[in-house]
Structure 1
Amino acid sequence: MSSKEVQKAFTANTCLTLSNGQKIPQIQLGVWESYDEECYNAVKWALEAGYRGIDSAEWYENEAICGRAINEYLTATSTPRSSIFFTTKLRNNVSYSETRSAIKRSLKECNLGYIDLYLIHAPYGGPMIREEIYRAVVDAVKDGEVKGWGAYTPLAKSGRFENEVLKEVAGRIVGNLKGSEGWGLEDEDMAKLRGLDEHLVTEWDPTDCP
Structure 2
Amino acid sequence: MLRLRNGPLRHSVATGIIRSFATGRVATSSPWELPTRAARKTVAGINHTEALVRNHRYWVGGLSGNSYRYRDNLRVRGLGRGMATTAAKDDAGEGFSVKSKLKLANGVTMPKIHFGVYEVKPGEETETAVRDALEAGYRAIDSAQGYYNEESCGKAIKGFLTMHPELTREDIFFTTKLRSNSSYVDTRRAIKSSIEKTGLQYLDLYLLHSPYGGPQKRKESWRAVADAVEDGEIRVGGVSNFGVRHLKELLEREKEQSRRPVVNQIEVHPFNANAEITTFCRENGIQIQAYAPLVKGRKFDHPVIKELSKKYGCTPAQLLVRWSLQMGYVPLPKSVRKERIEANKNVEGIEISEEDMKKLEGLDEGLSTSWNPTNAP
Same fold (TM over 0.5): yes
Kindly indicate whether the alpha-carbon contact (under 8 Å) linking 2:102 and 2:112 is maintained by their aligned counterparts in 1.
Answer: yes
Check 1:68–1:192 CA distance in 2 against 1; reply closer, same or farther (3 A cut).
farther
Kindly indicate whether the alpha-carbon contact (under 8 Å) linking 1:29 and 1:55 is maintained by their aligned counterparts in 2.
Answer: yes
Kindly indicate whether the alpha-carbon contact (under 8 Å) linking 1:10 and 1:185 is maintained by their aligned counterparts in 2.
Answer: no
Taking the aligned partners of 1:73 and 1:66, their CA distance within structure 2 comes to 11
SS at match of 1:112: coil
Kindly indicate whether the alpha-carbon contact (under 8 Å) linking 1:12 and 1:183 is maintained by their aligned counterparts in 2.
Answer: no
User: Residues 1-210 of structure 1 correspond to what in structure 2 (within 5 A)?
Assistant: 6=94, 9-35=95-121, 36-78=123-165, 79-152=167-240, 153-155=266-268, 158=292, 160=295, 161-164=297-300, 165=305, 168=309, 169-170=314-315, 173=318, 183-188=347-352, 192=356, 195-197=359-361, 198=364, 200=366, 203-205=372-374, 209-210=376-377
Kindly indicate whether the alpha-carbon contact (under 8 Å) linking 2:115 and 2:138 is maintained by their aligned counterparts in 1.
Answer: yes
The residue type paired with residue 152 of structure 2 is I
Taking the aligned partners of 2:212 and 2:116, their CA distance within structure 1 comes to 23
Taking the aligned partners of 1:106 and 1:192, their CA distance within structure 2 comes to 42
SS at match of 1:125: coil
Kindly indicate whether the alpha-carbon contact (under 8 Å) linking 1:53 and 1:86 is maintained by their aligned counterparts in 2.
Answer: yes
The residue type paired with residue 97 of structure 1 is V
Query: Larger deviation: 53-62 or 152-161?
Result: 152-161
SS at match of 2:105: coil
**Cα distance, 1:189 vs structure 2:** 6.5
Residues 147-188 of structure 1: CA distance to partner in whole angstroms, max 9, x if unpaired? 00111123459472333328934468579x68xxx5413323
Check 1:74–1:50 CA distance in 2 against 1; reply closer, same or farther (3 A cut).
same
Identity %: 39
- Is there any run of 5+ residues in structure 2 with no aligned partner, and where? 1-92, 241-265, 273-290, 319-338
The residue type paired with residue 196 of structure 1 is L
The residue type paired with residue 102 of structure 1 is A
Taking the aligned partners of 2:100 and 2:235, their CA distance within structure 1 comes to 19
Residues 95-134 of structure 1: CA distance to partner in whole angstroms, max 9, x if unpaired? 1111001001100111101100001101111111111011
Taking the aligned partners of 1:61 and 1:49, their CA distance within structure 2 comes to 24
The residue type paired with residue 144 of structure 1 is G
Higher helix fraction (1 or 2)? 1
Taking the aligned partners of 1:154 and 1:70, their CA distance within structure 2 comes to 26
Taking the aligned partners of 1:190 and 1:77, their CA distance within structure 2 comes to 40
Flag the structure with more relative contact order, 1 or 2, with Cα contacts below 8 A and sequence separation at least 6: 1
| TM-score normalised according to structure 2 size | 0.48
Query: Larger deviation: 189-198 or 22-31?
Result: 189-198
Check 1:190–1:44 CA distance in 2 against 1; reply closer, same or farther (3 A cut).
farther
SS at match of 1:122: coil
Taking the aligned partners of 1:66 and 1:32, their CA distance within structure 2 comes to 12
Structure 1 runs of 4+ off > 6 angstroms?
Answer: none
Taking the aligned partners of 2:347 and 2:233, their CA distance within structure 1 comes to 32
Taking the aligned partners of 1:76 and 1:38, their CA distance within structure 2 comes to 19
SS at match of 1:188: coil
The count of aligned residue pairs is 198
Check 1:26–1:191 CA distance in 2 against 1; reply closer, same or farther (3 A cut).
farther
Kindly indicate whether the alpha-carbon contact (under 8 Å) linking 1:117 and 1:146 is maintained by their aligned counterparts in 2.
Answer: yes
**Cα distance, 1:204 vs structure 2:** 4.0
Check 1:185–1:199 CA distance in 2 against 1; reply closer, same or farther (3 A cut).
farther
For the aligned residue pairs, the C-alpha RMSD in angstroms reads 2.8
The residue type paired with residue 39 of structure 1 is T
Higher strand fraction (1 or 2)? 2
**Cα distance, 1:19 vs structure 2:** 1.5
| TM-score normalised according to structure 1 size | 0.82
Taking the aligned partners of 1:111 and 1:194, their CA distance within structure 2 comes to 44
